[in-house]
A = this chain, B = another copy of it.
């Protein structure tokens, strides 16, 4: 009994020590704590005691354990920050796309001297470049004609098979024959939109929404209906329901939406799909962030609730492996033959080599290994970002708390114009994506999207703090 008592006492002592360290910012939010083994050595305690100390800290919701990664400091509840407000787009007022703004932001995309918080892809440092190279060499050796031949129009069979296999991680029941390979997710979405709509049709989108989708819809002569969207739960289902009669198609980034980071709960997804199925409205589901989850398992896509083949599930490896490979896909349900036909007519086939390389990368388990690391890095980064933003940004700033992906949606106090903030920040070599890029309506002028898909460094922390200071200066 006394041993037990003593052990209990000891693990609590250790837990208290670390608890104080966390309170005193010895360990920062998002940082990895020393391993159990290190704790044992440092405090000269048993494995059992160290494990119980960490369990105690988990119970106090100060830290969390992540499988195969260790223990990490959770956000500090003393500084809890509100999430952004729910968007309220008004149907009536529709303005032009902020093309000049978008082009300006894009112009900094290849400038390594700029802290590109505006980026829509994870930094190269987070990608498995060396392993992809090896796989590419394999692909060149393996392919007949070393990749000079046209690939099948529908796409590399091995790649389609592996994507189908991969879909089992979300309970998908796809076969290789259900999938069509495209030159990235935007190509998949463009293909879907052009197949499903005519100029003058209306398409329902989230608000805010990735500007590329707005540009695409407008370029095809579509009317855009932006739906109110919750920063955690996604679109307002009632608003969708009220507008069903006028929409021809719906497009949702259902998992870790760009730019909000929202992820629709499963029952919402089910409800939306049932609603759309009932009214025979196709849903283009852009699920290119679904594999980058911080929770214990992958969120299901809307596709998994589809009973009528009306969900066109799109994905890519541009955000997780290789943007420059241009590999995406769509499982177009009942629209498959139309999609294949459109693809044949507009681009014949997708690059042969990069398809095979991605197929091999998926096949041999390298993808899952890479994703595990990437998820941990991104989650830690997201917590670091939230910590620094909560410390340095103006009071009243709201921040999304995404459970996946790599972007944060920041809502500054109303007087702050993020277009103006962009201009000030770029002088300090910081690039952000102002909120007005993500809507066709007069909203989000005080919002911005920040990417945390960058390697976390002291310099980055200073730049992020500086951005907060610049934002504050706009209040004066």
Q: Which residues of A contact B (CB under 8 A)?
A: 99, 106, 109-110, 121, 124, 127, 129, 132-133, 136-137, 140, 144-153, 183-184, 186-187, 190, 198-199, 212, 215-216, 219, 321-326, 341-342, 344-354
* A124 in contact with B145 given A324-B349, A347-B186, A354-B353 (CB within 8 Å): yes
CA distance A186 to B140 in the complex (A): 25
CB of B147 within 8 A of CB of A324, answer yes
CB of A324 within 8 A of CB of B129, answer no
**What are 26 inter-chain pairs, A to B, with CB distance below 8 A?**
A121-B150, A124-B145, A124-B149, A127-B145, A133-B140, A137-B137, A137-B140, A145-B324, A147-B324, A149-B323, A150-B324, A151-B324, A183-B326, A183-B347, A183-B351, A186-B347, A190-B347, A199-B199, A216-B346, A219-B345, A324-B349, A324-B353, A325-B351, A325-B352, A326-B352, A353-B353
Shortest beta-carbon distance from A192 to chain B in Å: 12
CA distance A83 to B133 in the complex (A): 52
**Copies assembled:** 2
Shortest beta-carbon distance from A338 to chain B in Å: 10
CB of A184 within 8 A of CB of B348, answer yes
Query: Closest chain B residue to A213 by CB distance?
Result: B345
CB of A124 within 8 A of CB of B136, answer no
Shortest beta-carbon distance from A146 to chain B in Å: 5
* Nearest 4 CB-CB pairings of A with B: A324-B352, A148-B322, A351-B351, A215-B345
CA distance A147 to B346 in the complex (A): 24
CB of A129 within 8 A of CB of B150, answer no
CA distance A151 to B149 in the complex (A): 22
Query: Closest chain B residue to A187 by CB distance?
Result: B347
CA distance A342 to B187 in the complex (A): 12
CA distance A73 to B194 in the complex (A): 52
CA distance A337 to B278 in the complex (A): 42
